[in-house]
Structure 1
Amino acid sequence: MESACRRILARDPRQPAFLHVLGLVAQARGQSAIAVELIGEAVALKPDDSAMHGNLGIALAKLGRLDAAEGAYRRAIALRPDNADAHSNLGNVLRHHGRWEEAEAEYRQALTLRPTFAEAHSNLGNALRQREDLEGAEAAYRQALDLKPAYPEAHYNLGNVLLDRGQVAEAMACYRAALAFNPQLVEAHNNLGSACKALGDMDEAIACYQAALAIDPRYAEARYNLGLAWLGLGDYARGWAAYEWRWASPDFRPHRRPFSQKTWRGEDAGDATVLLHAEQGCGDTIQFCRYIPLAAARCRRVVVEVPRPLLRLLRAAPALTAVGEVEIIPRGTPLPAFDLHCPLMSLPLALDTRLETVPATVPYLVAPVAPAAAPGCFRVGLVWAGNPTYKVDRRRSLTRAQVDSLVAACPGVEFHSLQKDPEANGGLPQGVIDRMGEVEDFADTAGLIQALDLVISVDTSVVHLAGALGRPVWLLNRFDTDWRWLYGRDDSPWYPTLRQFRQETPGDWYGVLARVAAALDDAMPRP
């Protein structure tokens, strides 16, 4: 067919149907730029052909030219409103831009026109998943598979929503089904690795990430996840280097700073000014601000940009400013002149941190003002929930009923809430004292912690704050732990005063809380 088309076009190059066919052949070969050129010529010759506009949109989307693709799909629909493929493909572009409701409407229109359109069902599932309608997403993926059982992307998508819902074994089966139909589906290898990690099988998780990278060595998500796995195993030599691949991940790209200055790699910078900048949450900043004096020893001046709620706390910490010239500024203010920069969470790589060389001298933060503690009571600060927008918050946070069970099991303990916005996190448990209304920033929270005997918290910034203050802190840790708490440990090389209480099986908070209650009974002073 291709050779016949070329012979015809050699005699008469103004043949849109044959240009279109050659464009489709190029697209099938992955030659999207050539496809755009050929199908574009066909469209110019026959501007009223809906199918040609739709296929031009597909080629443009493959090149990442999404605005142009959207225009092509809309033209295809204007010419033929019953073009179900164009509606579904337009939905994909809208979903990429975060226009979820518009994307959903296009998928539903495609399905109204063609109810047996398996790809549109799967795409609808993707839009519903992004809108947190996990039940609707699962139903859409299952409908796609009912229509097209040998559909690897639908198996993969169903695995994703099952993993979101905590059905890890079922998710793994879906990923394996996807790979049975398409062994080259790198995303399925990667997410199968994440499912293995969720069940604690780190050897298999690493094998899955490496399988993805064998197919696509530049697949950032797998490289980043492999780094997290190595960090969780304490293999910091390989882990920190792979962790830098986070910047190529879609989740991190919006946070990358477009500085023209070079990244500081830990070298002696002489008379240079180095900007250290927070990149993620407040807990991450608290954990990694310990590196400020180490960086300050290698350059003339350090400027540290941090979230404003941490400003007063960090400025009041003598340990952070004891070496060299250090200026701590709030994020959002104009930056002073600087010569080099480094994200805070890249400092362990720059300074060649190994498990045995973690700078863990505490306290490195201090409470600017600490309330006096009244004698007699055993005071415990409590944090039971994290930020609900965090993607694993359902797994790391406690329910109100679980918190109530701990409080009821410890009648001799005076519990104090350190929970931000308790009303949005199940409400204040009965019998728990709440002074968080007085808190304006982390310096105030540090003052409350300083007056307590112990802090008990799920994996939030308060754990880092208590650890950095050198206060006793118990971490209520989920089964699929974050990399920084390491696997198979109940202590932490980052915080000498921290003790971990891990879930022994996924989701088993009541077992954790029973052990915490027994440990509290042992820790309480006896008359």
Structure 2
Amino acid sequence: MGRRAFKITATAHAPAGPNQADYNQVVARFHAGDLAGVESACRHVLAQNPRQPAFLHVLGLVAQARGQSAIAAELIGEAVALRPDDSAMHGNLGIALAKLGRLDAAEGAYRRAIALRPDNADAHSNLGNVLRHHGRWDEAEAEYRQALSLRPTFAEAHSNLGNALRQREDLDGAEAAYRQALALRPAYPEGHYNLGNVLLERGRTEEAIACYRAALAFNPRLVEAHNNLGSALKALADMDGAIACYQAALAIDPRYAEARYNLGLAWLGLGDYPRGWAAYEWRWASPDFRPHRRPFAQKTWRGEDMAGGTLLLHAEQGYGDTLQFCRYIPLVAARCRRVVVEVPPPLLRLLRTSPALVAVGDVRFIARGMPLPDFDLHCPLMSLPLALDTRLETAPAATPYLTAAVAAPIAARDRPCVGIAWSGNPTYKVDRRRSLTRAQVESLVAACPEVEFHSLQKDPDAAGGLPDGVVDRMGDVADFADTAALVQAMDLVISVDTSVVHLAGALGRPVWLLNRFDSDWRWLRDRDDSPWYPTLRQFRQEMPGDWYGVLARVAASLDKWNPRA
């Protein structure tokens, strides 16, 4: 988050002749915040002669300051047409265009501003913002560093550089850049907000909360800070505080999708499913979910009878989400003549060969990427609880609803076999908090010599390497049907919050969830069971990051556990 500065001076593009004094006065009033007075003065001058670029430009900046970016772009565009050699005008035109989402046009305006005046630090920094938006990290960083070489005291450019470094996962560099921005401008709300973000990502939640509160002290209407303060409080299990923050953000901007979505997650985590599922639909307006949105012309199914039509169900997020919510397929099939279910290819064989999913109606599975047949309505899998009015007490919990074709052969053994998965997808934003290290897994193995541990971790090298004492049986696994066969052969599955938990639960196998302190919504609060999986038991962190405490309780439970009971 980096502020784009509006640049206006009394001399850079002042009009010649008798309007010089009027212009100087307008500039002074603009910097004093007298927008109404500036607008009145500019319109008075332009009524006498509309072809005065300096006044058109200032009038455009007034519109931009009021959030009227389309009007700003039009007015500043007229000014640029009359004075195409003015770097500041091109730079401010870029700001208005960027606010409108016209980023390619904004990039062109910034580049023109720089071509006219290579020492235009603001244009370099703002060009970096556009490049960063497009994922052109190296180019963005170069522009920010160029801006800072021209103006080392440019606090916004330091903050913007921090944003680029954070997105490249250089968290040390990002934190240093944000702290430099705040050293230059202590009362910089965006700087405090950005520093809070990197601290939250690094697990320094209390420090992040202090930063968000500082940002809001300087700008109480900074909706992003309200939202992220809510997420930080939620990470410390302060659900009441989190909900209050999300609601504060929505009081400022009722259509702020991230806060509405996060509020939905909070309600779901508290078991308030009616409000939670409705608010969860706001995920589609969040930038994080736009890549998952399908641009279908057909409308979304909301639970109505479709005795004469075809419904497309489609997976939208991770493998675990699909495994959890495919349980709804028979309920949907009872209301529809035909159901087509599109799933990621690694799940296709498992779902297609699970009789419980096709026991009702005409159900057909296809792999994502294959041509879709004709259909009348569609529904993402994770919108089915809303469509079918799922309450906490009515969650469809009958298991197994998935079937392993055959259990994987295991050589005769004299110890119980426990499958273990210790790491999730590293691209998931909270993966650092939900995954174990190799050393932590090895501490559990060493504490339980009476147990034979088998890896259920796909690509263990990417998860820190195969822990000592764990048997690797995943080398021949091609898809989830193969993993299901391994799970079926285990006496027990132990896993962090990843797809293996859902797979074991859906197969009706005993599964122990190693759950982080800031639990995902689906595991609810203050319980060690699950309304979704009757065979699941939770072992929760009692404080953030305390995996060794969790593993000690697991080891003690394994010592008492009887796989034949």
Q: TM-score when scaled to structure 2?
A: 0.92
In structure 1, what residue type is equivalent to 2:491? D
Cα distance in 2 between the residues matched to 1:474 and 1:60: 52
Give 3-state SS (helix, strand or coil) of 1:359's partner: coil
- Which residue of structure 1 lines up, in the alignment, with residue 547 of structure 2? 509
Taking the TM superposition and a 5 Å limit, the aligned residue runs for 1:12-411 are 12-373=49-410, 374=412, 376-411=414-449
Cα distance in 2 between the residues matched to 1:5 and 1:280: 52
In structure 2, what residue type is equivalent to 1:512? V
- Which residue of structure 1 lines up, in the alignment, with residue 47 of structure 2? 10
Cα distance in 2 between the residues matched to 1:488 and 1:330: 38
Q: CA deviation at 1:271?
A: 0.9
Q: Which runs of 5+ in 1 are unaligned?
A: none
How many correspondences in the alignment?
527
In structure 1, what residue type is equivalent to 2:499? S
Cα distance in 2 between the residues matched to 1:495 and 1:510: 25
- With over 3 angstroms needed to count, the CA separation of the structure-2 counterparts of 1:363 and 1:526, relative to structure 1, is closer
Mapped contact 2:442–2:469 kept (Cα < 8 A): no
Cα deviation digits, residues 491-523 of structure 1 (max 9, x gap): 000000000000000000000000000000101
More deviation, 219-228/96-105: 96-105
Mapped contact 2:491–2:563 kept (Cα < 8 A): no
- With over 3 angstroms needed to count, the CA separation of the structure-2 counterparts of 1:526 and 1:391, relative to structure 1, is closer
More deviation, 313-322/94-103: 94-103
Cα distance in 1 between the residues matched to 2:362 and 2:402: 18
In structure 2, what residue type is equivalent to 1:305? E
Q: CA deviation at 1:372?
A: 4.0
Q: CA deviation at 1:184?
A: 0.4
Give 3-state SS (helix, strand or coil) of 1:507's partner: coil
Give 3-state SS (helix, strand or coil) of 2:534's partner: coil
Cα distance in 1 between the residues matched to 2:117 and 2:194: 30
Q: Does 1:454 align with 2:526?
A: no
Cα distance in 1 between the residues matched to 2:368 and 2:44: 63
Give 3-state SS (helix, strand or coil) of 1:218's partner: coil
- With over 3 angstroms needed to count, the CA separation of the structure-2 counterparts of 1:291 and 1:206, relative to structure 1, is same
Cα distance in 2 between the residues matched to 1:7 and 1:446: 76
Q: CA deviation at 1:7?
A: 2.8
More deviation, 354-363/12-21: 12-21
Cα distance in 1 between the residues matched to 2:44 and 2:253: 38
Give 3-state SS (helix, strand or coil) of 1:301's partner: strand
In structure 2, what residue type is equivalent to 1:340? L
More deviation, 329-338/25-34: 25-34
In structure 2, what residue type is equivalent to 1:470? G
Return the match for 1:433 from 471, 483, 486: 471
Give 3-state SS (helix, strand or coil) of 1:251's partner: helix
Cα distance in 1 between the residues matched to 2:499 and 2:564: 31
More deviation, 89-98/15-24: 15-24
Q: CA deviation at 1:9?
A: 2.1
Cα distance in 2 between the residues matched to 1:4 and 1:264: 55
Q: Does 1:487 align with 2:525?
A: yes
RMSD across aligned C-alpha pairs, in angstroms? 1.2
Cα distance in 1 between the residues matched to 2:219 and 2:166: 23
Give 3-state SS (helix, strand or coil) of 2:336's partner: coil
Cα distance in 2 between the residues matched to 1:227 and 1:70: 36
Q: Which runs of 5+ in 2 are unaligned?
A: 1-25, 27-37
Cα distance in 1 between the residues matched to 2:96 and 2:309: 48
In structure 1, what residue type is equivalent to 2:550? V
More deviation, 14-23/268-277: 14-23
Give 3-state SS (helix, strand or coil) of 2:363's partner: strand
- Which residue of structure 1 lines up, in the alignment, with residue 34 of structure 2? none
Cα distance in 2 between the residues matched to 1:215 and 1:148: 25
Q: TM-score when scaled to structure 1?
A: 0.99
Q: CA deviation at 1:33?
A: 1.6
In structure 1, what residue type is equivalent to 2:238? D
Question: Percent identity, aligned pairs only?
Answer: 85
